[in-house]
Amino acid sequence: MKIKPNKLYLARLQFCLYVCLCFVVLYYCHNTDIPGLIYLLLTPFFLVALYGFIYYLFCWLFIAYRPRDETWWKRIDYVWLFFASLALIGQTQSVREMWFQSPYEMAQASKAGIDKSLRAEINDMLDPAQCATATSRYEAADALQVASLCQRYADVARPLSDVALVNLLQELPALDAEYSAEPIQRWLAGLQETLKERELRRTEVVKYQNLIRETEFEELFRYFAPLLVVIALALRASKVSGELYLKAPKQRKFWLIINQRVVVDSLGFSDVAHKRFAQALGSWRKAEWGVVHMACDFIAQSSQRGSNEPVLPGRFESEFQLASVEEFETSGFVQWAAGQSMELLYLVGETDPELIRRLRQWGEATNTEVLVREHI
């Protein structure tokens, strides 16, 4: 089983995760009224930390833990473009609002003008000053009906309130049937025309209002737009990293370290043997050849034929664990090695015959040269 597929990715992944958690803790400590999602997604440093977390998560999963081929990375373009497209949905409402904002304001102004004209027409007939001169302006029969109409609405406050206006407009059909005087009929006909125009303007206002109003679907994506953009960018960046990893020169030589130590058989010259070993391992790492570690519980940690020279894993060196030699064929090391361009596996200072036999069988099956040196 693989213990740490790539410690560099994991370390940075954990760091970004801790930073994100710190922002979450700060949000709850501030006790703000802003919803948590909006608060965090509007914090630039949180978005940067979230981007780093998602990026290193993808790199760890698809480069270190489960390496993918070039075709798979090409398909990632569809995924990150999909997330980017979802983020753009929330911005379509802003464009639509800018486009229809001016017609909406003009429709509102026109409707307000119609409302003002409607009130003016009502006052032309029901204003007390107009009612007082009705007898001199109309014939006797018409003046009598006009006076009756004025008396009917004499108690209505001036200027007309919205409630009074609505009540009067609801009574227009009854007034049309009750009063037959020519001035009143002409006044009612004018009100009907104004009401038709008012309804047209109201319809325009509602139409443009619906056009500039965002839907629940758009509102949802507008809230999540920063998160979707971060995911898209992280996927895109991890895709570039994955393709660069595939095109980078592969390590073809690996030194296998068992139980994080090498048994140095000094043969009485311990200082010389230790120096030779340190120089050999240093030169190996300096040449940027691979070093892989495998913990074998069935091999003793000490040896009577020499001393154990500790070898700590480097940052870029993978680690595996093998519980028993029977599990070698299904171990994480074998699965990992299948994705490497390995030509040589170097093992030194180990004498376990069963492990050496399994390694050589595996080398023959995979065309990998297994070089074993029992002494150093």
**Whole-prediction pTM value?**
0.54
Domain of 315, in residue numbers: 253-373
State whether 171 and 202 are in the same domain: yes
State whether 242 and 110 are in the same domain: yes
State whether 318 and 348 are in the same domain: yes
Residue 150 pLDDT: 85
- CATH code where residue 293 lies: 3.40.50.850
The encoded tokens of residue 175 equal 């007034």
- On whether the CB atoms of residues 336 and 2 are closer than 8 A, the answer is yes
* DSSP codes joined into one string, 267-322: TT-HHHHHHHHHHHHHHHHHTT-EEEEEEETTS-S--TTSEEEE-PPPTT--EEEE
How do the pLDDT tens digits run along the chain, 376 residues long?
444 456 678 888 999 999 999 988 888 777 667 777 777 877 889 899 999 999 999 988 888 777 788 889 899 999 999 998 888 876 776 777 788 888 888 988 998 998 888 888 888 788 877 788 877 888 888 888 888 888 888 877 677 778 888 888 888 888 888 888 888 888 888 889 988 999 999 999 998 888 888 777 777 777 788 888 999 999 999 999 888 877 766 667 898 988 888 877 655 556 677 788 888 888 888 877 888 898 888 887 655 556 778 888 887 788 888 888 888 888 888 888 887 778 889 888 777 888 889 999 999 998 999 988 876 6
Q: What are the contacts of 360-368 at 24+ separation with CB within 8 A?
A: 362/328, 362/329, 362/334, 366/337, 366/338, 366/342, 368/337, 368/342, 368/343, 368/344
The encoded tokens of residue 27 equal 């949000």
State whether 241 and 283 are in the same domain: no
DSSP class of residue 251 equals: P
Q: What is the dihedral of CA 158, 160, 163, 168, to 10 degrees?
A: 110
Residues with Cβ within 8 Å of 224's Cβ and at least 6 positions away in sequence, in order, are 37, 41, 86, 87, 90
| Domains identified in the chain, total number | 2
Classify residue 9: in a domain, yes or no: no
State whether 349 and 366 are in the same domain: yes
Residues with Cβ within 8 Å of 51's Cβ and at least 6 positions away in sequence, in order, are 230, 233, 234
Of 39, 68, 40, nearest to 53 by C-alpha is 40
State whether 82 and 216 are in the same domain: yes
Residue type, 22: C
State whether 163 and 240 are in the same domain: yes
Last residue of a domain, one of 228, 248, 268: 248
Q: What is the 3 state secondary structure string of 122-173? A: HHHHHCHHHHHCHHHHCCHHHHHHHHHHHHHCCCCCCCCCHHHHHHHHHCHH
State whether 263 and 314 are in the same domain: yes
Can you tell me the distance from the alpha carbon of 368 to that of 65, in angstroms, rounded to the nearest whole number?
Answer: 22
Classify residue 178: in a domain, yes or no: yes
Last residue of a domain, one of 232, 248, 264: 248
Cα atoms in the Cβ-side hemisphere of radius 13 Å centred on 102: 3
Last residue of a domain, one of 195, 217, 248: 248
Can you tell me the distance from the alpha carbon of 170 to that of 161, in angstroms, rounded to the nearest whole number?
Answer: 14
Q: Find how far residue 28's CA is from the centre of its chain.
A: 21
